[in-house]
Amino acid sequence: MKAIVLALACVAGTAVLAGCSHTPTKPKDDSTFHYLLDNTTVWTENKVETLPSLPSERDLIAFDVSQNTPLHFAVDAKSVSVGSDGVVRYTVVITSPSGAHNVNYEGIRCDTYEWRLYAGLNADHDGWDRTVSNDWARIENGDLNAYHASLYQDYFCANKMPAGTTKTIVNDMRLHRTATSHME
């Protein structure tokens, strides 16, 4: 019996020692540092289920695009919203010297410098037409009528994020307080 207990003790001891054995591993390669800000996330756009009311003249806030354009640009203050997806949505009214209007409901995505059309004024001028919508497109700076660039740079976005809450953006537009005037 003593021999069996001694044999079992030896087997158990060997098993414990085998579990404690350690094969050295290669040292970790620290030359491939990974920045947390480099982590990519999958962006999801908030659904635009309902559209704002058509703009009223009293709610329009004019903004400058270029001294060389004959067009007049304004944003409907009541339509401006800052989404949790980082998109500033708004209604823009573009008026020609003859009085013709283009009215669009759009969004500007601050992190990618892109814009999107959700709807335009319908042919009867009494509602929205969603069939004119488009996908995200890069904002063009050089155009004479580059109002998307003006909105992005002057009022809507800063450091690839919305420039503030809806209230802050609307107040800045009303006071013609652009991003550059904040730096002064």
Domain membership flag for residue 105: yes
Domain membership flag for residue 121: yes
Q: Which residue has the tokens 């990519």?
A: 40
How far is 133 from 8, CA to CA, in rounded Å? Answer: 79
Stated length of the chain: 184
Domain membership flag for residue 65: yes
Domain membership flag for residue 2: no
Q: Tell me, what CATH number does 75's domain have?
A: 2.40.128
- Considering the entire predicted model, what is its pTM? 0.76
Give 121-129's long-range contacts (Cβ < 8 A, gap of 24+). Answer: 121/54, 126/54, 127/54, 128/51, 128/54
Domain membership flag for residue 27: no
Give the residue numbers spanning the domain of 84. Answer: 57-179
**pLDDT per residue as tens digits for the range 123-174:** 999 999 999 999 999 998 877 779 999 999 999 999 999 999 999 999 999 9
Domain membership flag for residue 47: no
Domain membership flag for residue 84: yes
Query: In this model, does residue 34 exceed pLDDT 70?
Result: no
Domain membership flag for residue 16: no
State how many domains the chain has: 1
